[in-house]
Structure 1
Amino acid sequence: MGLSVEQLKDIGAMLIAASPSENPVAAIRTGFPDIQVSRCDAIDMRGETPYRHVGEYDVFLVDTSSHCWRIVDDPVAAGGIVISERHR
């Protein structure tokens, strides 16, 4: 499927606009129903390099084309995102 630069920009804006107590996953899923979206704790993503840091979040691109997702760095290869809140 692939993610466009525009989609990633819009998702980034949603993450920046989210209040600290709000889980942005539902809004992203509503706005982008064709994109797989998941959220996990930052510790679960240790050892992985985020595609972008957006506000309080790290954004990881994932290839969702097979049963097991894998982290990728190319939006064209990605069918989804994983977001994790960065620990301070």
Structure 2
Amino acid sequence: MALTTEALEEIRTLLESDAPATDRCAGVRKSFPGLSLTRCDASDMGPEVPAFETAEFCVYLIDTSEHCVRLTGDPAGATGLIVAQKR
């Protein structure tokens, strides 16, 4: 599932809502059922640069099309997200 600019903006909007963090991630999963979403703590991502940030999350794009999952900066090649919660 390639991510468009519009899809990334919708994901940002969902993650910036006032709902609890768990509900916001569930909202992304519901709105994008073919998209893999992994949630973790921001400290788990080390020095990696997120695709975008919100006040509470760093969001990374991943490509799961091959055997190993890898971070990507290409929304067109992204098949999922890592949503890393800031503490």
How high is the TM-score relative to the length of structure 1? 0.88
Which residue in the other structure is 2:21 paired with?
A: 22
Q: Is the 8 A contact 2:51 2:60 kept in 1?
A: yes
RMSD: 1.3
Distance of 1:62 and 1:18 partners within structure 2: 26
Which residue in the other structure is 2:76 paired with?
A: 76
**Percentage of matched positions with identical amino acids:** 36
Distance of 1:18 and 1:38 partners within structure 2: 20
Q: Is the 8 A contact 1:59 1:84 kept in 2?
A: yes
Deviations for 1:8-37, whole angstroms, at most 9, x for unmatched residues?
100100000043x43122211111101111
Distance of 1:8 and 1:64 partners within structure 2: 18
Counterparts in 2 of 1:57 and 1:75: CA distance versus 1, 3 Å: same
- Stretches of structure 1 that go unaligned for 5 or more consecutive residues are none
Which residue in the other structure is 1:5 paired with?
A: 5
How high is the TM-score relative to the length of structure 2? 0.89
- Stretches of structure 2 that go unaligned for 5 or more consecutive residues are none
Q: How many residues align?
A: 86
